[in-house]
Amino acid sequence: MTTFGEAETEETVTCLHLTFYHPYQDNKMVFRGLNFQQREQVRADEVARFGRDSSACHYKLMDTRVSRVQFSLQFYRKLNSSEVSFEIKNMSKKTKLMVDQTELGYLNKVDLPWKCIICFGDYQILAEVQEGESMDYFETHLHLAEVPILQERYLPSLQPVPENCLSSSSFPSQGKSPTEMDENESW
């Protein structure tokens, strides 16, 4: 029996969680080429490509409006550091790629933030990096969102709700707008 102090420690693996959404994902089945809910290992020296060309891309999007290779993700180690990261590169000549608020044209690349939203066309992808130690490979874990990622995560409500739960339409229209009152005053 091995004691806790003698047990070998297992090296953790960096995992890139990608949650996909498309408004017509059920009707057009654009994600039928992706393997959801199962982690996949990718060697560190490989480039993870996403697009519609099955011979060039490991992650296939079944949509004629997607470029042959839409974008790529490269795993790398930062200079003079043990920290690993990903860079994302737009491989589409026709479609711009948004990474949070950064717009990438053809062949532009940036470091992938630890949590961000990637958008192109009608596609929304939430990318979340779970840190690990392995330098030999990383894992991808794909998920499918039921609701738009932008709506779910970032967009504020379009209709503010007043503190007293009365909308402005509840006030009689007398040519005046409602005035602010002290909470101790009564109507």
Domain range summary for the chain, segments of one domain joined by +? 15-148
What's the average model confidence in pLDDT over 117-123? Answer: 97
Indicate the pTM of the whole model. 0.75
Percent of the chain beyond pLDDT 90?
A: 65
pLDDT-based confidence at residue 4 (cuts at 50, 70, 90): low
Distances (CA, A) of 44 to 9, 60, 107, 143, 157: 21, 20, 21, 22, 41
What is the structure's pLDDT at 78?
A: 86
In contact, 51 and 91? CB cutoff 8 Å: yes
What is the structure's pLDDT at 72?
A: 98
Which fold is adopted by the domain 15-148?
A: Tumour Suppressor Smad4 (2.60.200)
Retrieve residue 138's tokens.
């990383």
What is the structure's pLDDT at 117?
A: 97
Distance of alpha carbon 60 from alpha carbon 31, whole angstroms: 7
What is the structure's pLDDT at 6?
A: 53
Q: Mean pLDDT of all residues in the chain?
A: 83
What is the structure's pLDDT at 168?
A: 44
What's the average model confidence in pLDDT over 161-165? Answer: 49
What's the average model confidence in pLDDT over 123-140? Answer: 94
Q: What would the pLDDT profile of 61-97 be if each residue is shown by its tens digit? A: 999 999 999 999 999 988 888 888 999 999 999 999 9
